[in-house]
Amino acid sequence: MAAGSMGKPVVASARSNVQKSAPASAPDHVRKPAYASAPGAVSTLPVGACDCHVHIVGEQDAYPMLPDRPYTAGPATVADLRAHMARLGLARAVIVQPSFYGTDNRLLVDSLAAMDGDGRGIAVLADDVSDSTLGELHDAGVRGVRINLESVGASDPETVARAFGTWAGRLRGQGWHIQAYASVDAIAGAAPRLRGLGLPLVLDHFSATPARLALDDARVRAVIDLVGSGAAYVKLSGSYRINQGATAQQVTALARAFLDANPERAVWASDWPHTNRAPGKLPTEVSPYRDIDPRGLREEIDAWLPEADLREQVLVTNPARLYGFPDAKEATA
């Protein structure tokens, strides 16, 4: 089963098209209020804090999207990402290949070069990707393959386990991991077979667990126990993707349940620039980004990670281990 959409794996650079300069004012589709100017500012994030799930979107003349893509996002550049990071006090970011680029990873590679060591990447790969391409991607800063089963509605436990197992056999021992966006039902059903992959499994967006579900729901417990076993990491990210019909307190309770199970297997992410499939838009028409106030993101960090040592663990230590970042304090010395 392919790890992503159709297309040949592409690594060759179009680097001159990626903005690396100091961030200018962000365009309307990514501009957000500056958190630093907001009243009641919260605690400073630890040195080396990492946003573990962001996307870069290029101009289509340089980085064309798949013709059969499900939706279209407007440009969101490395300069825009740097501005987002500055607003929240973040030092590092993990750039995730969006589905609408398929296996054409050129923009990902160019963006990592523009991040100058402050970024790592997650690629989408074809089943027949060559070892040489994997090596080139690793050298560029890629540390994982993204498998998006949620977008295609794949939830059969056998399909899920087979897809992950195939990639685990290919990537085991190379410092990579599998990043999975799949429903809670899919992960829960396959959980017994996911404990022996032999490399980390990273579950996007709370493992797509609706926050309204009871914490003692069998599916929720199966995913939490998978994280508790150490076989999987969970991304505390994209709460707006799981909070339908739920309260902020329920989202926080779900975050804390994962953290209580295993604080060494959780990372945090903003899901910037907050892609969206706008109702009524054709797939080739630009869907505006969700209007997510960065103050809300910081409030979630404080609610989910109230203790300083826990913030250090989730924002710095765990990402450094998972993505191969150098020690944050040594890097800034």
Residue 275 has pLDDT above 50, yes or no: yes
Quote the tokens at residue 128.
Answer: 């027949």
Convert the pLDDT of each residue in 14-67 to its tens digit: 554 455 443 333 444 443 333 333 334 446 899 999 999 999 999 999 999 999
pLDDT band for position 331 (cuts 50, 70, 90): low
pLDDT at 333: 55
**Window from 40-54, 204-218, 227-241 with minimum mean pLDDT:** 40-54
Residue 12 has pLDDT above 60, yes or no: no
Convert the pLDDT of each residue in 161-172 to its tens digit: 888 999 999 999
pLDDT band for position 158 (cuts 50, 70, 90): confident
**How large is the average pLDDT for residues 300-306?**
96
C-beta pairs of 137-141 under 8 Å, 24+ apart in sequence = 137/11, 137/105, 137/109, 138/174, 138/175, 138/176, 140/11, 140/108, 140/109, 140/112, 140/113, 141/112, 141/115
**Chain mean pLDDT for the chain:** 88
Convert the pLDDT of each residue in 64-122 to its tens digit: 999 999 999 999 999 999 999 999 999 999 999 999 999 999 999 999 999 999 999 99
pLDDT at 18: 57
